[in-house]
């Protein structure tokens, strides 16, 4: 591990990452470790300035290989993705400018302290195993919803996103700010020990939440939602849902029941996902075997 990047402000209204990066830029010694370099940066400065999720479209879905190669794409985020890829990538290269990316996010869903991972590298999972050892309450969600990861962290050979919530958009919460900061220091400590050749004693397995599917709100012919997340399901992130449990509530008070296999609900009622067309994610809790 030679260089690690910590990115904040990929979504400009998710302020935990924005203000942590500001703090570290003012106090770079907090990130300094003996045997590798850490870069911290704001990824979407214009959306941060406007306290908006994005300017034209979601930057955290803009790093697909085909899009990065497509010179005809001229939106704010498409051009920004190419500049970031030149700085932190290039994606898919064996000689990328950074080895590991940690992208900082918040969610309006009640997910506590969580990692969202789509990178399957052994080093990524070793880092996650260390973090789970240091923070037993940490949740790990393996996202497999895309054919190819187009997230910010996909530019590097290794990495993941940190999601903390529930936090309203455009708001700071001190408890989750501090938890995110502590988790980053654990990441840096892990790589310092890793580079020094320290041997780690991990369990060979991790309990994680494996992505299964997305659930949208029932909608009318105009595309408007016809229901709300049921109050008995609200805030039950990482809890089981079984067939017959309340899922949605119509505006007239009719309960819509869940029909399907027993799974776990994640990103429940995330504000940013109304436009994406889903009310929550479904995941299966599994025992994940770590690679050597």
Of residues 202 and 75, more confidently modeled: 75
Mean pLDDT, range 17-21, rounded to an integer: 98
SS3 81: helix
What pLDDT, in 10s, does the model give residues 218-268?
999 999 999 999 999 999 999 999 999 999 999 999 999 999 999 999 999
Secondary structure (3-state) at 218: coil
Instruction: Say whether 9 sits in a helix, a strand or coil.
Output: coil
What is the pLDDT, as a whole number, of residue 203? 84
In the chain, residues under CATH classification 2.20.25.160 are 211-285
Mean pLDDT of all residues in 192-214:
94
Q: Which of helix, strand or coil describes residue 172?
A: coil
With DSSP H G I counted as helix, E B as strand and the rest as coil, what are the percentages for the chain, rounded to 5?
A: 30, 25, 45
Give dist(CA 239, CA 264) in Å, integer.
Answer: 5
User: What SS3 class is residue 148?
Assistant: coil
Give the rounded percent of residues in the chain with a pLDDT score beyond 90: 95
CATH 3.40.630.10 segments of the chain: 3-202
Per-residue tokens: 189: 């400590």
Please give the pLDDT value at position 94.
85
User: 115-150, pLDDT tens digit by residue?
Assistant: 999 999 999 999 999 999 999 999 999 998 766 789
Cβ atoms of 243 and 261 within 8 Å: the answer is yes
- What token pair was written down for 170? 């455009």
Query: What is the total residue count of the chain?
Result: 292
The reported pLDDT for the residue numbered 147 is 62
Q: What is the pTM of this model?
A: 0.96
Assess contact for 239 and 264: CB atoms under 8 A. yes
Tell me the CATH class for 3-202: alpha beta
For domain 211-285, is the CATH number 3.40.80.10? no
What mean pLDDT value characterizes the chain? 96
Confidence bin at 202 (pLDDT 50/70/90)? confident
Report the SS3 class of residue 156. Answer: coil
- In the block, residue with structure tokens 């369990």: 203
Residues 6 or more apart whose CB falls under 8 angstroms from that of 30 comprise 23, 24, 185
For residue range 59-116, list pLDDT tens digits in order: 999 999 999 999 999 999 999 999 999 999 999 998 999 999 999 999 999 999 999 9
The answer to whether the beta carbons of residues 106 and 10 sit under 8 Å apart is no
Distance of CA 15 to the CA centre of its chain: 14
Confirm if 263 and 241 have CB atoms less than 8 A apart: yes
């Amino acid at each position: 591990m030679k260089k690690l990047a910590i990115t904040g402000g990929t979504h400009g209204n998710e302020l935990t990452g924005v203000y942590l990066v500001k703090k570290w830029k003012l106090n770079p010694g907090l990130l300094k470790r003996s045997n590798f370099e850490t870069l911290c940066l704001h990824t979407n400065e214009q959306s941060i300035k406007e306290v908006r999720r994005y300017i034209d479209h979601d930057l955290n879905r803009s790093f697909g290989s085909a899009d990065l190669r497509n010179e005809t794409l001229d939106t704010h985020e498409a051009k920004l993705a190419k500049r970031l890829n030149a700085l932190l990538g290039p994606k898919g290269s064996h000689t990328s400018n950074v080895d590991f990316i940690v992208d900082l996010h918040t969610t309006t869903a009640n997910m506590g302290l969580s990692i969202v991972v789509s990178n399957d590298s052994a080093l990524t999972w070793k880092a996650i195993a260390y973090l789970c050892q240091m923070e037993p309450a940490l949740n790990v969600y393996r996202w497999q919803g895309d054919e190819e990861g187009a997230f910010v962290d996909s530019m590097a050979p290794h990495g993941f996103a940190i999601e903390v919530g529930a936090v309203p958009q455009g708001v700071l919460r001190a408890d989750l700010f501090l938890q995110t900061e502590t988790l980053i220091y654990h990441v840096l400590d892990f790589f310092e020990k890793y580079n020094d050749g320290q041997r780690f004693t991990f369990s060979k397995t991790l309990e994680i939440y494996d992505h299964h599917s997305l659930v949208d709100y029932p909608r009318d012919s105009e595309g408007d939602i016809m229901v709300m997340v049921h109050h008995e399901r609200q805030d039950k992130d990482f809890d089981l849902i079984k067939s017959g449990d309340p899922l949605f509530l119509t505006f007239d008070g009719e309960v819509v029941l869940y029909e399907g296999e027993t799974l776990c609900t994640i990103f429940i009622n995330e504000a940013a996902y109304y436009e994406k067309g889903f009310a929550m994610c479904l995941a299966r809790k599994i025992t994940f075997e770590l690679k050597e």
